[in-house]
Structure 1
């Protein structure tokens, strides 16, 4: 079942609402029968027609709304069952294959430096059929000694920042999504160059659910040096 207010993920925030008979004068209250406030859930705006609930622990809960008539003290109570499932929203990346720098195979390359384009791929899976949220990540890029980076770009979403960087509004379909992060790396052609990518946060944007863990959040791109061969000499 797709994640929604009645079947949310742990760590997701959902909004619940009613139409009260007299929201101005009557007493309105939201509550959860099971669990412990603060540990298993957090309710915001609990004395209006709308409640925002952050679900923190998997389990089955009864969410209740009551309206108490100001003149008589008579109470109407409404209840709905919420089944909170384990979070399966997962973002990951991995090391790209090592590559030679841009001077590779070029005849009589005329400089000691080269600019090489590289790409990191970040993948997302919700683990829930029919749940296709937009999502975002924040990440850092750390060039190794002798390397500089420029022209950082994303294949999906909107990129902002200059370290850390954030890509927001990445799309998904059939429960999965992918974004490529590209950049140009400049450095000495006879030196191995590295760039490290580290994801620092990942969130699906529909219900504000964070990644289930921080596994597979780092990747290293290695740019191999070319041999430092001399010019051809003739006698």
Structure 2
């Protein structure tokens, strides 16, 4: 009985010595990062766990064919939160004696998905009839590759709007088609984007760059044709 108790204390002692804490890591939503550990022995059992922040498939995902039993894994961080990343290497000494080394790290994923819309350039109308077009460049920072947004103008009659415009990539050109006004009338308006979301479920909460300044389509004279 004394021998078994001594063995139990020894196992607990080794387990305690094998535990260490790594520094905190900071990432962005939509970022894929590699985490790796040099295992002592390739025959040992390796395992990773990710806790806090959300579940696999929703808040994070493995990439590039890596698995939770590899020494190196690639994680795509899909949602903001604070996660605990734990790596365990188990070494079997025979019988019921398994010694483990555990490494942990805290990963803080920022809530920094953002889409901004740039001001457009004022210009003359293409004519006193027909339409003029105005281009607005939208730029995404962080988050999923796929995202959607709504938009609406302020200052036109009638106003222009759109809902759930689907985008893939970091930039998008929003082209507005504005009917020209007769008699050289100017049209001054701005554009607001809203309800900006990515496919991971993140929302753009930085609203300060979601409204443009005024742009003007300057009217041109409604000049008659040359007669002869």
TM-score (norm 1): 0.48
**Max Rg structure:** 2
Structure number with the higher helix fraction is 2
